[in-house]
């Protein structure tokens, strides 16, 4: 039975992907940062929607608390995942960080600590996770998938630091695809604006402007992005790609 590690997996896109993978027969490690109650509630939900034999119950799913910004924690996360299930077939590296600053003022976007945290979470954390998981994904000829953003390909984002580090993350995924070949496939998915807790700090006007710029006149559903993640997990001929799921925002 295939095993998927999904980081930042207890809410938003992560949780939608966890549910979809459970429905498609994966055993799952849900990584989360702080909210034990939310992570455990999601784990309790999964046996009922899983296509795995019911006698496995909750044993097919586990939640592991780890700070993705800490390299030692990332290594521990992979180690505990292997201790539990013995293999990794898919790693969905979904963690990230931003603080809303808008894209109008250089001065508003020049806080060094925010640049450092953005680079740590939006770039380095994916590299550390890939490094830790590589030998296990080699064994299964598995897939490593990251969540990037349309902010990395278009000048429209929560902050300049977020946009620049997401562009770096897309470039990182392409480089990793080359370095991890031929056994591991590495791809990224770039959603448009998702209506999750991430955008609670966005001004209402910014959300409306984004909506009106989409050709489909809708926000992207987390379930649609999760479907692309599952496609990457299953498809044996896709690597080095960044697929945009944005309702036509960047057209």
DSSP secondary structure string, 58-79? GGGEEEEE--TT-HHHHHHHHH
Residue 144, helix vs strand vs coil: strand
DSSP 207-221: HHHHHHHSTTSSPBP
Q: Which of 32, 100, 111, 162 is catalytic?
A: 162
Q: Smallest Cα–Cα separation from 66: which of 10, 116, 113, 26? A: 10
**CB burial readout 9-48, b (16+ within 10 A) else e:** bbbbbbbbbbbbbbeeebbbbbbbbeeeeebeebbeebbe
Q: Nearest to residue 161, comparing CAs of 241, 243, 100, 79? A: 100
- Residue 32 designated active-site: no
CA atoms of 173 and 148, how far apart (whole Å):
9
The phi and psi torsions of 104 (rounded to 5 degrees) equal -105, -35
HSE (CB half, 13 Å, CA atoms) of 154? 16
User: How many secondary structure helices (H) and strands (E) does the chain include?
Assistant: 8, 7
HSE-up (13 A, CA, CB side) for residue 197: 8
Active site residues: 162
């Amino acid at each position: 039975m295939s095993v998927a590690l999904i980081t930042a997996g207890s809410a938003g896109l992560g949780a939608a992907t966890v549910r979809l993978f459970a429905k498609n027969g994966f055993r799952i490690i849900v990584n989360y940062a702080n909210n034990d109650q939310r992570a455990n509630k999601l784990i309790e939900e999964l046996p009922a929607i899983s296509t795995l034999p019911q006698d496995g119950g909750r044993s097919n799913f586990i939640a592991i608390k780890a700070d993705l910004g800490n390299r030692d924690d990332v290594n521990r996360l992979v180690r505990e995942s292997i201790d539990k299930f013995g293999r990794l077939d898919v790693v969905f590296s979904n963690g990230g960080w931003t603080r809303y600053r808008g894209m109008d003022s250089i001065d508003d976007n020049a806080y060094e600590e925010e640049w450092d945290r953005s680079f740590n979470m939006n770039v380095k954390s994916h590299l550390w996770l890939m490094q830790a998981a590589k030998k296990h994904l080699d064994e299964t000829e598995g897939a490593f998938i990251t969540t990037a953003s349309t902010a990395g390909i278009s000048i429209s984002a929560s902050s300049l630091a977020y946009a620049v580090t997401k562009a770096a993350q897309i470039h990182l995924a392409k480089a990793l695809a080359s370095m991890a070949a031929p056994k591991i496939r590495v791809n990224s998915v770039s959603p448009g604006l998702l209506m999750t807790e991430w955008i609670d700090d966005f001004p209402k006007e910014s959300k409306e402007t984004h909506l009106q710029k989409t050709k489909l006149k809708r926000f992207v559903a987390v379930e649609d992005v999760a479907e692309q993640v599952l496609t990457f997990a299953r498809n044996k001929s896709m690597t080095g790609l960044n697929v945009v799921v944005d309702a036509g925002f960047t057209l």
